[in-house]
Amino acid sequence: MNRVHAALAALALSLCAVPAAAELLSIDGEAYARESAVLLPPTVPRMWMLNITRLAADGAPVRKGEVVLGFDGNSLMQDLTEKNSKLAEKQTELDTLLLDLAERERTERLATAEARANLDKAQRKTEQPQALIPGIEYRKLIVAREQAEQRMELVTRRERLAAEQRRQEKRLLQAEIAQLQGEVAQLQASLASLNVKAPRDGLMMHNSSWSGEKFDVGSQVFRGQAVAEIPDLDSLAVRADLPERDLTRVRVGMPVRVVVEGGAGIAVAGTVRAVGQAVRSKSRVQPVPVLDLQIELGDAADRLKPGQAVRVEINVPDDRRTAGGGR
The 3-class SS string of the chain reads: CHHHHHHHHHHHHHHHCCCCCEEEEEEEEEEEECCEEEECCCCCCCCCEEEEEEECCCCCEECCCCEEEEECCHHHHHHHHHHHHHHHHHHHHHHHHHHHHHHHHHHHHHHHHHHHHHHHHHHHHHCCCHHHCCHHHHHHHHHHHHHHHHHHHHHHHHHHHHHHHHHHHHHHHHHHHHHHHHHHHHHHHHHHHCEEECCCCEECEECECCCCCECCCCCEEECCCCCEEEECHHHEEEEEEEEHHHHHHCCCCCEEEEEECCCCCCEEEEEEEEECCCCEECCCCCCCEEEEEEEEECHHHHHCCCCCEEEEEEEEECHHHHHCCCC
Per-residue confidence at 14, pLDDT binned at 50, 70, 90?
A: very low
| φ, ψ at 225 (rounded to 5°) | -90, 125
Please report, as a single letter, which amino acid is at residue 104.
R
What average pLDDT does the structure give for the chain? 84
- The torsion region of residue 231 among left (phi > 0), alpha (psi -120 to 50) and beta comes to beta
Mean pLDDT across 232-239:
86
**Is residue 19 scored above 50 in pLDDT?**
no
Residues 6+ apart with CB under 8 A from 288: 243, 281, 282
According to the model, what pLDDT value does residue 234 have?
82
Dist. CA 173–CA 91, nearest whole Å: 9
Instruction: Provide, rounded to the nearest whole percent, the portion of the chain with pLDDT above 90.
Output: 40
Dist. CA 166–CA 262, nearest whole Å: 80
Burial of 88 (0-12, 13-18, 19+ CB in 10 A): exposed
pLDDT, tens digit, 9 for 90 and up, residues 247-300: 888 999 999 999 987 766 788 889 999 998 888 887 777 788 888 999 998 876
According to the model, what pLDDT value does residue 304 have?
82
Per-residue confidence at 21, pLDDT binned at 50, 70, 90?
A: low
pLDDT, tens digit, 9 for 90 and up, residues 180-206: 999 999 999 999 999 999 998 888 999
Instruction: Provide, rounded to the nearest whole percent, the portion of the chain with pLDDT above 70.
Output: 88
CB-CB neighbours of 240 under 10 Å: 24
pLDDT, tens digit, 9 for 90 and up, residues 105-133: 898 889 888 888 888 888 887 777 776 77
| Contact of 167 with 192, CB cutoff 8 Å | no
According to the model, what pLDDT value does residue 320 have?
55
According to the model, what pLDDT value does residue 13 have?
36
**Is residue 104 scored above 70 in pLDDT?**
yes
Nearest to 41 by CA among 196, 256, 208: 196
